[in-house]
Amino acid sequence: MELFIDTADITEIKRLNSLGIIDGVTTNPSLVLKAGKNFKEVVRDICQIVDGPVSAEVVATDYDGMIREGQELVKIHKNVVVKVPMTPDGIRAIKYFSSHGIKTNCTLVFSANQALLCAKAGATYVSPFIGRLDDIGQTGMDLIDEIRTVYDNYDFQTQILAASIRHPDHVKQCAISGADVATCPPAIIDQLFKHALTDSGLQKFLDDWKKIPEELRRIV
């Protein structure tokens, strides 16, 4: 499963990308607002850091506007993926983009029916928001399972990009369920490294190492 960062914070992207485990980045207007910089500049900077797909979202809600904005976004960098909302005009725009070789990410998906439409339109990625489903008393992970089944039934090539990740267990369950990608805030990626037994085990090794006479513990 690929791991994307869900942020527009350049500092955090640089930090996590240096670990060598990041495959791409997703952004949205809310994340760019937090960054406090020019939208195109932020997208361009991200593309220069991470050598992978970078989702940049259109803000137009009509078909013609989405097409105009999408065509401008892909001029920023070859790795830009046009992020389009799950609406009738959005699906129509995805069909246009896919027929012209432009990669897309259909966002704000909350049902298998919506995911089916995304795949039929030729979306590169579909973004089911599992955390937001949990927020309203549903089980977001059930949606990942449903989409995986539907896509496998018909050999759709659209990749499942699990979004609205709220905790490390979401990441684990996405990997178990066969999501192609999980996009996570930096804080969640940091938590993937953590386990109490790792910390205590490392501390014990270090404590024992100090007990070895210095002349016997030279490494270099």
The CA-to-CA distance between both ends of the chain, in Å, stands at 38
Smallest CA-to-CA distance from 81 within 36, 27, 45, 20 is with 27
* Known active-site residue 172: no
Catalytic entry in 83, 120, 194, 211: 83
The set of residues, in sequence order, having a beta carbon less than 8 Å from that of 173 and lying 6+ positions away, is 141, 144
**Which residues are known to be catalytic?**
83
